[in-house]
Amino acid sequence: MTRMKEGRLKEGRAHTPDPAAERAEALVLAAPGRGVRRARSCALGQRSTMRSAARKGRAAPAARDSLLVLLFLCLLQKTCEPKTANAFKPNILLIMADDLGIGDLGCYGNNTLRTPNIDQLAEEGVRLTQHLAAAPLCTPSRAAFLTGRHSFRSGMEASNGYRALQWNAGSGGLPENETTFARILQQHGYATGLIGKWHQGVNCASRGDHCHHPLNHGFDYFYGMPFTLTNDCDPGRPPEVDAALRARLWGYTQFLALGILTLAAGKTCGFISVSGRAVTGMACVVFLFFISWYSSFGFVRRWNCILMRNHDVTEQPMILEKTASLLLKEAVSYIARHKHGPFLLFLSLLHVHIPLVTTSAFLGKSQHGLYGDNVEEMDWLIGKILNAIEDNGLKNSTFTYFTSDHGGHLEARDGHSQLGGWNGIYKGGKGMGGWEGGIRVPGIFHWPGVLPAGRVIGEPTSLMDVFPTVVQLAGGEVPQDRVIDGHSLMPLLQGAEARSAHEFLFHYCGQHLHAARWHQRDSGSVWKVHYTTPQFHPEGAGACYGRGVCPCSGEGVTHHRPPLLFDLSRDPSEARPLTPDSEPLYHAVIARVGAAVSEHRHTLSPVPQQFSTSNILWKPWLQPCCGHFPFCSCHEDGDGTPRMPGL
């Protein structure tokens, strides 16, 4: 199209391009097929007629008549532009694993875990090898993925303290004024479904306002967990949600109760002169203190481990062993219901997050214990979803994407058994905002006939790029009233562009900038500058064992002055920091990246913090409940109807 416009300018003749013809030709370039050839003939026929009239240099009645006839013929053939546009809106299937390491897949070099379905997806599509999460933890990474912009821009990051949502009954979550790709696709005629994990909040001020709920963010169907899997969902596992605080509160309660008992015993034996009313009053205070924290922490499984269908709670607490089959059934059903499309299905898997709930068919089958079993079950589940796409005749009309929300969880262990993922050659893991192992994730794109099979791209890309990519495929436009950090990947995926649109990428841990990446396009080098890194424990261990995840700030991090510099194109493992002696460009690179960081900081603006203490706290009036609070309990029948106990 650009070359044609340039040719017209060189001819020096007046010409008014036909918008309908140009849009039809754009669709031709994006989606080959039988109907496309007919649309191309329509578009080119319109242009040919108009050019002919322009060459003759006379008034256009004849050209207009010819154009009207041509458009009438297009209508008769049912290939006029509006229907062509609908025909070339692909179905969009986005699959996101939870806590999967990039080194856990065969297509990324693992030869001990069996992932044939994901490997085939990569073989038939495009595989990215420098695909990066915008944050190293669940909630902020997913917020950035959904909105195409860093999570701190929406307040979905922490300056200190909590780095992810802790309760279904907290008031924090993805703000209503944020625009997700689902909302834009919904506006462009897509059915939009989310099946699986949400972890972006539920309510703001009352139990039924659903201000953070998926249905308030562009999805017209939701089935899954509004929260995330934790060890608390499995009664046989140790507590996870605020485990350290919970242990302290239990200790304080025991200490206070022991004090009350001592006073009561002393009074009874006559050793202490204290009124019975005072002892009773103090006992009441201790009891109220106990109730104040145990009403939340004592029932974490009931409050957090639930399933919802749209606004209704269907299982409370959820039965873990059934969950994978329920999600699979829902996904297959959704595809069948919307096979006439177009549809968006965001399949947000619960695999492979602890507690690694795995069905008996896969237990003990891998070489890597429970974690490996769970990875192989995830691959099987994805295979079933891809089969459903093919069985419904949608393989060639579906744009499929697979990734993980961040790197594998190195600190997840059970004694000597590793319960978290493997991040391959990359240093660090989940929770570490700077090191590659925390943010480098799988990125696989599949669309037969449009994306070249077997293509491997090593350019820096981001999960935030998915937002503008799917918006473009749907025929929409990204919001112009806010900063969007992602770029459409279609030119890169199709080979129209050789280089990533990202010159710089900024890597945050909470709201703290830990590192920045410079893709030096003229040389192809990828430089990485680390300003802050976590202190591994024990020293040299490669992770923060003894903690849930590494901290972002405080005494557990090291601030580097001067910064650490790595050339990822030669040292992707970040094993050899460069110095002015070993790298002649050291000072120039540090200065260039520093200038980019300063420019980036000018795009930041203050927003309400969703992870503040007041937003994080459990609030009983916000708790999603099946039945009458606090007696919340139900399980789903085979037909999907919630069933109360005793009914």
Other Cβ atoms closer than 10 A to 568: 21
Please state, in angstroms and as integers, the Cα–Cα distance from residue 498 to each residue in 58, 327, 448, 495, 505, following that order.
44, 38, 20, 6, 18
Report the candidate in 499, 423, 511 with the shortest Cα–Cα distance to residue 461: 499
Q: How far apart are the first and last CA of the chain?
A: 66
Is 560 catalytic? The answer is: no
Give helix 369-391 / helix 320-337 axis angle, nearest 10°.
20
Burial classification of residue 56, based on how many CB atoms lie within 10 Å of its CB (0-12 exposed, 13-18 middle, 19 or more buried): exposed
What whole-number distance in Å separates Cα of residue 512 and Cα of residue 99?
21
* H/E element, 589: helix 586-601
What whole-number distance in Å separates Cα of residue 393 and Cα of residue 47?
34
Tell me the DSSP string of 494-518. Answer: HTS-SS-S-SEEEEEETTEEEEEEE
What whole-number distance in Å separates Cα of residue 355 and Cα of residue 371?
9
Identify the active-site residue in 199, 217, 409, 512.
199
What whole-number distance in Å separates Cα of residue 522 and Cα of residue 537?
40
What whole-number distance in Å separates Cα of residue 584 and Cα of residue 309?
59
Report the candidate in 118, 109, 107, 128 with the shortest Cα–Cα distance to residue 381: 118
What whole-number distance in Å separates Cα of residue 120 and Cα of residue 122?
5
Kindly report the CA angle at 514 between 509 and 519, in degrees rounded to 5? 115
Report the candidate in 354, 371, 96, 329 with the shortest Cα–Cα distance to residue 233: 354
What whole-number distance in Å separates Cα of residue 284 and Cα of residue 290?
10
Kindly report the CA angle at 436 between 430 and 437, in degrees rounded to 5? 40
Identify the active-site residue in 42, 138, 509, 552.
138
Virtual torsion, Cα 173, 199, 131, 26, nearest 10 deg: -70
3-state secondary structure 272-326: CCCCHHHHHHHHHHHHHHHHHHHHHHCCHHHHHCCEEECCEEEEECCCHHHHHHH
CB 458 within 8 A of CB 387: no
Is 138 catalytic? The answer is: yes
Report the candidate in 345, 444, 341, 443 with the shortest Cα–Cα distance to residue 394: 341
3-state secondary structure 51-70: HHHHHHCCCCHHHHHHHHHH
Please state, in angstroms and as integers, the Cα–Cα distance from residue 284 to each residue in 277, 290, 332, following that order.
10, 10, 54
Kindly report the CA angle at 603 between 599 and 608, in degrees rounded to 5? 145
The residues annotated with a catalytic role in the active site are 138, 199
